[in-house]
Amino acid sequence: MSERYEVFEDPWAPIAVPEGQSVVREFGPLQLTISHGRGQWWLERDRDGLEVPASPRPPERPDRVRFVAEDDVDALVPTPALADRSIVARPEDPLSVVARSQVTLIVSTPLWVVLHTEGGRKVTEVPTILLKDTWFGPDTRNGELCYAARTAAKQFSPDVSRSPLRAYTRVRIRNDSNKPFDVRRVKIPTPLLALYSDEEGGFYTPDLEVHHEGGEDLSAQTASIVHARRRDARLLAPARAGNDRGLFASLGRMLG
């Protein structure tokens, strides 16, 4: 089976693989080798390890999976999706929002690659970056298993380096207390968020808001989704966990 190495500026372009050939497509640190046989596909993935932090550990062992279907197609279509679990992003540098102020931070999260056939039938999905797991909750009994990530938590869009493999979320933090608010972590509830793209091909989610009124128990803060859909927004993927339109109410603890 002959192998072809593709260099695409747009990693989300359809992957055409004629029968008897293989194609390698890179999604950042994730490298997918797709081989096409009669009525079947082989998907081999290799990656550069964990995102948090850069790992000296050997890369994950490439795994090869075979997919079969009753009819044959010559191309697979990769589409972006948000993570299947919430992502807890910790600021790279300790971050504090001064008393009685409001800031908007931009947090990016890695995307998942969902492979479909040309007819729209799902084949599989793969995270572009392997994230570490983390626990988000007030104690070790109550909480939720999430992915861990670091964020630069930049304030202004021009400062953010755009990646076609990440989704961007604006998190507005309102500190209505008379004390500085130490933002130790931000939980992005990705399964509850829809994914949109703009005209420039960037990916983003609905905006989030955190309202801090003081108190020591930071985990008791509640967050809500603010639908700030831009004019050029195009829905790419609905929220994994149902429709997020009904989630104006409390969505659970985002800051802790």
Partner 1 sequence: MLELPELSPRLVRILWAVVIAIVGLAGARLLAAISGRVAGTRSRQTRMVTERLVFGVAGTIVLLAALRHAGVDPGVLLGTAGILTVAIGFASQTSASNLISGVFMLFERPFVVGDIIRVGSFTGEVLSVDMLSVKIRTFDNLFVRIPNETLLKSEIANVSHFAIRRVDVKLTVAYGEDMEAFREALFSIAADNPFVLDEPTPMVIVDEFRESSVAVQFSAWAARERFLDAKNSLLEDIQARIYDGQFRSPYPVRILVDHPDDARIVGGQRSARMAPRHQDFDASAANPAEDPP
Catalog residues that contact partner 1 under the rule CB under 8 A: 50, 52-53, 55-57, 60, 88, 90, 130, 132-136, 140-141, 143, 145, 148, 185
Cβ proximity to partner 1, 153 vs 194, nearer residue: 153
Query: Which C-beta is closer to partner 1: that of 16 or that of 50?
Result: 50
**CB 55 to partner 1: min, Å:** 5
Give me the sign of the Cα torsion angle 104, 132, 225, 180.
negative
Q: Shortest approach of partner 1 to residue 140 CB, angstroms?
A: 6
- Number of alpha helices (DSSP H) and beta strands (DSSP E) in the chain: 0, 22
Nearest approach, Cβ of residue 95 and partner 1 (Å):
16
CA distance 11 to 7: 9
- For partner 1, give the closer residue by CB, 50 or 114: 50
Only one residue has tokens 């994994």, namely 240
Output the smallest distance, CB 167 to partner 1, in A: 20
Q: Which is nearer to partner 1, 84 or 213 (CB)?
A: 84
CA–CA separation, 36 vs 18, rounded Å? 7
- Among residues 55 and 104, whose Cβ is nearest to partner 1? 55
Of the CA atoms within 13 Å of residue 40, those in its CB half-sphere come to: 7
Residue bearing tokens 């995102």 = 51
Question: Least distance (Å) from partner 1 to the CB of residue 84?
Answer: 14
Least distance in Å: CB of 20 to partner 1?
35
Closest CB to partner 1 among 13 and 145?
145
Question: Contact, 97 vs 213, CB < 8 A?
Answer: no
Contact 71, 54 (CB under 8 A): no
Whether the Cβ atoms of residue 247 and residue 225 lie closer than 8 Å to each other? yes
CB of 22 to partner 1, least distance (A): 27
Cα-to-chain-centroid distance, residue 122: 18
**Is 97 in contact with 180 (CB distance < 8 Å)?**
yes
Spatial distance between the Cα atoms of 34 and 45, rounded to a whole number of angstroms: 9
Per DSSP bridges, beta strands 207-212 and 166-175 are parallel
Closest CB to partner 1 among 140 and 178? 140
